[in-house]
């Protein structure tokens, strides 16, 4: 096993929370915007779609000597799939849909190196409290989660939206499943637990 600290690691995302999560793992990296246009979900297994999006993002920044991490996450509630809302109105519509219900959040991870490609995924389940319209609006004004799938930030005031969370990796909800990152790096022969 070699030290992960010697990797030229690139995060295919400019999301601050993803970069912070990698930094907490002691992984030095560059955060860059992927050069990838995300196709919409048109059916099939959601886990296949988020893995494909993560791979597209990672491949868009691949280069000699680089190890690129790409991520994506989406939400499934009933037969509907939710991504990033983009604005207050769409976010409110998403929270109304999730209100009082259990939903599945699916994460995709892709790691692209000069020699190989890995694709992993995980899921978690969250049950939102039954909340009033003023509560939903106040929440959106406070956290402004317009770039987050499902229109919430669990690491902020959004934690108050939920009555239960079923997860094997706390990082999954914020969009960077740290267990998956560790598993991927170790399968490539690297550990962040070595100097």
SS (H, E, C) 77-136: ECCEEECCCCCHHHHHHHHHHHCCCEEEEEEEEEEECCCCEEEEEEEEEEEECCCCHHHH
Where do we find the tokens 């597209």?
A: 56
Residue 188's pLDDT is 93
Residue 155's pLDDT is 87
Q: Alpha carbon of 185 to those of 5, 25, 106, 112, 182: distances in Å?
A: 11, 12, 20, 11, 5
Domain span including residue 63: 2-191
Rounded to two decimals, the pTM is 0.92
C-alpha–C-alpha distance, residues 51 and 49, integer Å: 5
128-165 per-position pLDDT tens digit:
999 999 999 999 999 999 999 999 999 889 999 999 99
Tally the domains of the chain.
1
DSSP label at 27? -
What residues act catalytically? 72
Q: What residue ranges of the chain have pLDDT lower than 70?
A: none
**Which residues lie across from 110 on neighbouring strands?**
70, 119
CATH number, domain containing residue 138: 3.90.950.10
Residue 151's pLDDT is 97
Residue 69's pLDDT is 98
Evaluate whether 143 touches 85 at the Cβ level (below 8 Å): no
Q: For the beta carbon of residue 1, count every other beta carbon within 10 angstroms.
A: 11
Evaluate whether 13 touches 34 at the Cβ level (below 8 Å): yes
């Amino acid at each position: 096993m070699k030290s992960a600290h010697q990797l030229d690691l690139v995060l295919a995302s400019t999301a601050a929370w993803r970069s912070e999560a990698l930094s907490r793992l002691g992984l030095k990296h560059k955060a860059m915007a992927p050069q990838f246009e995300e196709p919409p979900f048109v059916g099939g297994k959601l886990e296949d779609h988020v893995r494909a999006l993560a791979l597209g993002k990672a491949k868009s920044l691949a280069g000699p000597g680089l190890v690129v991490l790409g991520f994506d996450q989406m939400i499934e509630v009933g037969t509907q799939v939710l991504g990033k809302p983009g604005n207050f109105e769409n976010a409110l519509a998403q929270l109304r849909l999730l209100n009082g219900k259990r939903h599945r959040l699916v994460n995709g991870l892709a790691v692209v190196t000069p020699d190989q490609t890995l694709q992993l995924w995980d899921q978690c389940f969250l049950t939102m409290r039954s909340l009033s319209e003023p509560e939903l609006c106040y929440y959106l004004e406070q956290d402004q989660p317009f770039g987050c799938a499902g229109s919430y930030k669990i690491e902020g005031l959004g934690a108050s939206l939920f009555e239960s969370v079923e997860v094997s990796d706390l990082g999954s909800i914020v969009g960077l499943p740290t267990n998956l990152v560790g598993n991927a790096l170790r399968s490539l022969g690297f550990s962040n637990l070595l100097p």
